[in-house]
Amino acid sequence: MLVAGLMSGTSLDGIDVAIVDIAKAKDDGLAVRGVATHCVPYDPTVRAALLGVSNCETHTREIARLHFLLPRLYAEAFHATCERAGLKAGDVALIGCHGQTVYHEGQPADVLGHRVASTLQLGDGSVLAELTGVPVVSDFRPRDIAAGGQGAPLVPYFDWLLFRDAERGRALVNIGGIANVTLLAAGCAQAQVRAYDSGPGNMAIDALVAHYTEGAKRYDADGEIALSGAVDPELLSILMSDDYYRRRAPKSAGREQYGREFVQMLLQSGLEPADLVATVTHLTAATIADSICSQLREPEEEGFQVIVSGGGVHNPALMRLLRSELPEEMELATTAEFGVDPDFKEAIAFAVLAHETWHRRGSNLPSATGARRQVVLGKVSY
């Protein structure tokens, strides 16, 4: 079955499309074969509008409009991907569309005397189904929240399905805006999967670079700025002392932790731009490595593999630091070595999650989200 996955992450860089062929594997699992991938960057005006409605009080009109604009952009990206792969839209049986998160509050807050957890992904599934003629699964997170979960992370189910190994323990690390980690002990069952956000991914680095270049650059291309600077040990140790890094999993982070206020605080350090970028790049690498080591018992480290995906794999400064922060006996690889394009792992994951929903199978992991039970995720627009 050909399934497309559409993902747009917290970095707000653009729309990732992956088309995969999903079949039953011998061991009752799924075999996922890549067919096409394509990334369509957001136009700067769209990016600014999305940033404008992310985590702030805003006019409902802008939210409603973006909710209906995004599926048009998603449909264009989907059609462009099909065309590049020589496919007709009708060859694809199903689309899984994550949408663009503009608000996420996985922990219940006090709302008019009730305890309410909430999340909002823009990009309406009905519009996307109408524009593509392909059934769409969208809105994956609410059902997990309804079942008492945090609505995130959802990729661990995919990680478990494709990356678990009978003999070796593995950590799957996605370095997008935020860094997400899935821990798969050797031979682990679904209920043993642990997952959490280790802290910042590229988000703080991106914001600093955008600030210093007045928006001319969106990220530290090839880690050049970080590589030209020196880490400030004092600031690094202050940043690392944040309580968040000592909390046990499950835990999740977002733009509210590493967005505007965090960057304002960093800028007040008065460090040279390159030194500040180097320090924050180090923070990302060190918090990922520390979080993995602190969750493992020592014997588990033997032959342990850390497998990275997300835009962060393109930042050599970050990858080198991650290598040096991890114990020597751990292997460091990217998902490319396992046949999964690191830039499209999350899009592929949402194709697989849509496939599970289509077959009425649950695909949240209660051990990762905190839900009371496994539930069928998402809404289907036929």
Q: Which residues in this chain contact ligand ADP in the complex, by CB under 6 A? A: 9-11, 13, 176-177, 202, 205-206, 219-223, 310-312, 314-315, 346
Chain position whose Cβ is nearest to Mg ion: 9
Q: Which is nearer to ligand ADP, 318 or 330 (CB)?
A: 318
Q: Which is nearer to ligand ADP, 303 or 338 (CB)?
A: 338
Binding segment for Mg ion among 4-12, 134-142, 284-292, 301-309 (CB under 5 A)? Answer: 4-12
* Sign of the dihedral through C-alpha 215, 218, 219, 222: negative
In whole angstroms, give the CA distance from residue 249 to residue 196. Answer: 5
Which residue reads 């962060």 in tokens?
Answer: 312
153, interface contact from ligand ADP, Mg ion, none, CB < 5-8 Å by kind: none
Q: How far is the CB of 174 from Mg ion (least distance, A)?
A: 10
Looking at the chain, list the stretches that DSSP marks H as alpha helix, in order from N- to C-terminal side.
44-52, 60-84, 125-132, 141-146, 155-163, 203-212, 224-228, 233-240, 255-258, 260-267, 273-295, 316-325, 345-358, 366-369
Give the helix, strand, coil percentages of the chain, each rounded to 5.
Answer: 45, 25, 35
Q: How far is the CB of 318 from ligand ADP (least distance, A)?
A: 8
Q: Which is nearer to Mg ion, 181 or 185 (CB)?
A: 181
Is 312 a binding residue for Mg ion by CB under 5 A? The answer is no
**309-318 b/e with 16+ CB inside 10 Å = b?**
bbbbbbbebb
Q: How far is the CB of 246 from ligand ADP (least distance, A)?
A: 24
10, interface contact from Mg ion, ligand ADP, none, CB < 5-8 Å by kind: ligand ADP
Residue 2 · residue 91 · CB < 8 Å: yes
Q: Which is nearer to ligand ADP, 2 or 349 (CB)?
A: 349
Q: How far is the CB of 286 from ligand ADP (least distance, A)?
A: 17
Is 9 a binding residue for Mg ion by CB under 5 A? The answer is yes
Q: How far is the CB of 76 from Mg ion (least distance, A)?
A: 17
The CA R_g of the chain, rounded to the nearest whole Å, is 20
Q: How far is the CB of 123 from Mg ion (least distance, A)?
A: 14
Q: Which is nearer to ligand ADP, 144 or 206 (CB)?
A: 206
Residue 234 · residue 285 · CB < 8 Å: no
What Cα–Cα distance (Å) separates residue 209 from each residue in 39, 223, 263, 307? 22, 11, 11, 26
In whole angstroms, give the CA distance from residue 201 to residue 290. Answer: 14
**151-173 b/e with 16+ CB inside 10 Å = b?**
bbbbbbbbbbbbbbeeebbbbbb
Chain position whose Cβ is nearest to ligand ADP: 311
Is 13 a binding residue for Mg ion by CB under 5 A? The answer is yes
219, interface contact from ligand ADP, Mg ion, none, CB < 5-8 Å by kind: ligand ADP
Tell me which long-range contacts 44-47 makes (C-beta under 8 A, separation of at least 24).
Answer: 46/73, 47/12, 47/13
CA 86 to chain centre: 28
Q: How far is the CB of 210 from ligand ADP (least distance, A)?
A: 10
Q: Which is nearer to Mg ion, 9 or 71 (CB)?
A: 9
Q: How far is the CB of 316 from ligand ADP (least distance, A)?
A: 8
Measured in Å, how far apart are the chain's first and last C-alpha atoms?
16
Q: Which is nearer to Mg ion, 98 or 194 (CB)?
A: 98
Is 144 a binding residue for Mg ion by CB under 5 A? The answer is no
Binding segment for Mg ion among 1-9, 159-167, 225-233, 278-286 (CB under 5 A)? Answer: 1-9
Residue 238 · residue 231 · CB < 8 Å: no
232, interface contact from ligand ADP, Mg ion, none, CB < 5-8 Å by kind: none
Q: Which is nearer to ligand ADP, 222 or 337 (CB)?
A: 222
Q: How far is the CB of 319 from ligand ADP (least distance, A)?
A: 10
**243-268 b/e with 16+ CB inside 10 Å = b?**
eebeeebbbbbbbebbbeebbeebee
Residue 37 · residue 343 · CB < 8 Å: yes
124, interface contact from Mg ion, ligand ADP, none, CB < 5-8 Å by kind: none
Q: Which residues bind Mg ion (CB under 5 A)?
A: 9, 11, 13
